[in-house]
Structures are given as structure tokens and as C-alpha cells.
Amino acid sequence: MAIPETAAEATTISEELAEAAQAQGLLTLGVEEEYLLVDAVEPRAVEAVEEVFDRLGDDIRDSVQHEYMRSQIETASPPQLELGSLFDAMKRLRAGIATAAEAAGVRVVAVGAAPGSGPNTRVVDKPRYHRMRERFGDLSPGAGLNGMHVHVSVPDPETGVQVLNHLRPWLPIFQAATANSPYFAGHDTGYASWRSMLWERWPTVGPTPYLESHEHYLTLISDLQASGAMLDEGMLYWYARLSANYPTVEIRMGDVCPSLDDTVLLAALARALVGTVLGEIHDGKRAPDVAHPLLRAAHWRAAHDGLEGLNIDMATREPRPAWRLMRQLFDYVRPELERHGDLELATVLMGRLRAHGTGAARQRALMAQNATISDVVDWLAGATAGAR
């Protein structure tokens, strides 16, 4: 759950990178990931973020930040043009925080919600977080909720709003592909992404509404702040939004993935989708105004089934196998994957996701072999650090 103290997001795009992107006609890409800190032996969350920060290497310190709870930590990759460079940057970040966590006597785990039992942890000791706790109470139970946010560059806010409209029908399948929180407080919740269900209790969480213009977008933000439903623009938790600080759209409804392979695949698909819809906007194609209740139903289905069940085909309004819709998305954005030089790697990573399933599916497969929640957390810790 990204609730930064200052609105910190993916690292600022340098002038050199912006010029390279413009010269090549490509879109920049950045990813934020949030993680849970757990005990070195037991599957319980621990309030250890300050201890981990104290042990971070200087090479990654500027890309790591606090999250809402003291049992969470977040990384933000530098923006990239090449998918391989993004993979390498995120690999360094994951390895670096895993090393710092080990030095602090804990582990870092990429999981949507805390699988093990244990008491609620406290918020980080910063004024904004305390104000949020006072205003919204126990809307984030346990140790915190951990997501993945993908930033893709757009030319200007007005175009960015049109991009948000075009993204709406595709975001449920992104959510399904990231599902990675079937267990909570020691038991199977019946959902592939229980984090999604807990997260939706916040008043501004949900599908992005159909927007008439950038002015309409800003008016809604102002109205929501005036209502008391959010303290500031940083609490606009729509599943896709404009960055308040950088020229990007941010896709932000998914669980953090245990495998870096899956994270990079979804980042590549997000960039290719934004590139695809930018072409449609240039051609004057209007975004489909999908009914909001149907969109919410599709997101619920994504949280419940992940990729292993059904989701809603927005063109026909009928349930279809989620994997078929995932393949449809891949085929739809294939030209942009190729244009950005991502097609070969994305094809390999798509095959791996198809073979091993989502994080939720892998956790359940492990439990089906008479494993325990402790075993699941052990596996998640290894996957996060890149050891398995």
C-alpha cells in the first residue's frame, strides 16, 4: 500500500533519459515494490524497518523508502528504457534489501499480505501516517498491505487522462496476474489476492472512473479531499492514476510478486499497453466506457480467482478463462513489445508464468504438499531474494 510521507514515487527521470526516450520514440518505465519484514525463523511480521534502513548499502539507499507500517519497506527502481536494465536494477534492489534485512536479523518477503498470525504492527513514526491513523482507524489490519506499482511515461496530463480511460478494461487481468496473498493470519482466505479485499476498505480505492478531461480529474481530487475521504493527493488510490510529480501514469492495483520474472513481465506489458493506447488516442479512437459495476465485478473476480479461474471479457461482458484473457492482452500489445525491444524477453517470462502460475497458485501448490505457513514464508523469502 503506497502511502509515502512526501508523495515519493519512482525516481525522477533524468534529462538525459528523457532526451533518449524522445529521440527513440520510446516510453520510460519504472517500478515500485513493497515488502513485508518477518522474523528470521517464525512466519510473523516484525517492526524492523529502521534496523534494516541502518544496514542498507549506499548504492541502493536513495531507492529505498519507508512505507505505512513499521513492518514494511519499499523500493523504487530508477526509470529505464531497456527491460533488461530494469530487471538488473530491481535485482540489485531486492538483493540489497535482503542483505540488509539479514544483517538486521530479519527477512524481507514479497507478499501481498502477512500470511502468518501475529498482532497488528504500528505505523511508521511520521506526522502524516499518524494523521492517517487518527482519521481512518483500523482500515489496514495486521502488518500492512504490499503492492507493485508500474510507472510509464506519457507526453502530458491531458493525454494521460485519456490513457487512464483506455486502461480501465485491461486492469482486472493485470490484477489477476499479480495475485499473491491467499493466506492471511494463518489460514487460506479463499481468495488469490486477499490483500485486494482488505485494500478496498479504504474510501478512495477502486477502479479509475471514466474521466472527461484533466480538469475533471483535478476536480474529483479536490472534491475527495473536501469530503475528508483523503488527506491529500497521495491518497488517491485508484487502480491507475497520474503521478503528482512526474510525467507518468501509474498502474497500481496489483500485489507485489514473489518472482522478479513476473514483476518484469507485467512491467513490460504495462508499457506496451500504454504505448498501444497512445496510438489509438492519436488515431482518434475513443476509450470504451465500461460500466463501473461490471469493472468492479471483474476486479473482484481477479482477486478471487487469480489467473487460475475466470475473469470478465469486457468486450462480451461474459466470463472467460483468465489465462485466455491474459493471452489476448499479450497479443494485443505485441507490436509495442516488439517496438520497445521487449518481445523476446516478455515471451520467455510469459511462458514461465504460464508454467508455474501466480504467486498465489505457487503458495497453494506448496501447501498441498503438506507444507506449513512457515514453509510458505521460507519459500517467499527465497523467491524475493532470487534464490529460488
Q: What is the pLDDT of residue 4?
A: 39
pLDDT over 70 percentage in the chain:
96
Q: What is the pLDDT of residue 388?
A: 55
Is 8 a residue whose pLDDT tops 90? no
Residue 12 inside a domain? The answer is no
- The CA angle 10-194-211, to the nearest 5 degrees, is 55
Single out the residue of 351, 308, 326 nearest to residue 193, CA to CA: 308
Is 6 a residue whose pLDDT tops 70? no
- From residue 302, alpha-carbon distances to 21, 65, 238, 355, 388 in Å are 33, 29, 16, 19, 26
Q: What is the pLDDT of residue 269?
A: 98
Q: What is the pLDDT of residue 33?
A: 98
Direct distance between the N- and C-terminal alpha carbons of the chain, in angstroms, rounded to an integer: 25
Is 112 a residue whose pLDDT tops 50? yes
pLDDT digits over 26-47, tens only? 999 999 999 999 999 999 999 9
Q: Which amino acid is at 232?
A: D
Q: Which amino acid is at 260?
A: L
Is 181 a residue whose pLDDT tops 80? yes
Number of independent structural domains in the chain: 1
Q: What is the CATH number of the domain that holds 45?
A: 3.30.590.20
Q: What is the pLDDT of residue 16?
A: 83
Q: Across all residues in the chain, what is the average pLDDT?
A: 94
Label each residue of the chain as H, E or C.
Answer: CCCCCCCCCCCCCCHHHHHHHHHHCCCCEEEEEEEEEEECCCCCECCCHHHHHCCCCCCCHHHEEECCECCEEEEECCCECCHHHHHHHHHHHHHHHHHHHHHCCEEEECCCCCCCCCCCCCECCCHHHHHHHHHHCCCCCCCCCCEEEEEEECCCHHHHHHHHHHHHHHHHHHHHHHCCECEECCEECCCCEHHHHHHCCCCCCECCCCCCCHHHHHHHHHHHHHHCCCCCHHHCCECEEECCCCCEEEEEEEECCCCHHHHHHHHHHHHHHHHHHHHHHHCCCCCCCCCHHHHHHHHHHHHHHCCCCEEEECCCCEEEEHHHHHHHHHHHHHHHHHHCCCHHHHHHHHHHHHHHCCHHHHHHHHHCCCCCHHHHHHHHHHHHHCCC
What distance in Å separates the CA atoms of residue 44 and residue 185, rounded to the nearest whole number? Answer: 9
Is 1 a residue whose pLDDT tops 80? no
Domain with 45, as residue range(s), is 22-382
Residue 138 inside a domain? The answer is yes
pLDDT digits over 190-240, tens only? 999 999 999 999 999 999 999 999 999 999 999 999 999 999 999 999 999
Q: Which residue has the cell 497488528?
A: 120
Is 2 a residue whose pLDDT tops 70? no
Residue 157 inside a domain? The answer is yes
Residue 11 inside a domain? The answer is no
CB 384 within 8 A of CB 110: yes
Single out the residue of 57, 58, 35 nearest to residue 48, CA to CA: 35
Confidence band for 12, pLDDT divided at 50, 70 and 90: low
Residue 271 inside a domain? The answer is yes
Residue 58 inside a domain? The answer is yes
Q: What is the pLDDT of residue 141?
A: 65
Across the range 288-306, mean pLDDT stands at 97
Is 307 a residue whose pLDDT tops 60? yes
Residue 54 inside a domain? The answer is yes
Confidence band for 3, pLDDT divided at 50, 70 and 90: very low
The model's pTM: 0.95
Q: What is the pLDDT of residue 351?
A: 98
- From residue 74, alpha-carbon distances to 57, 91, 219, 387 in Å are 15, 14, 30, 20
Across the range 323-335, mean pLDDT stands at 98
Residue 387 inside a domain? The answer is no
What distance in Å separates the CA atoms of residue 150 and residue 238, rounded to the nearest whole number? Answer: 13
Count of beta carbons in the 10 Å neighbourhood of residue 351: 11
Q: What is the pLDDT of residue 256?
A: 98
Single out the residue of 38, 194, 183 nearest to residue 109, CA to CA: 38
Q: What is the pLDDT of residue 118?
A: 72
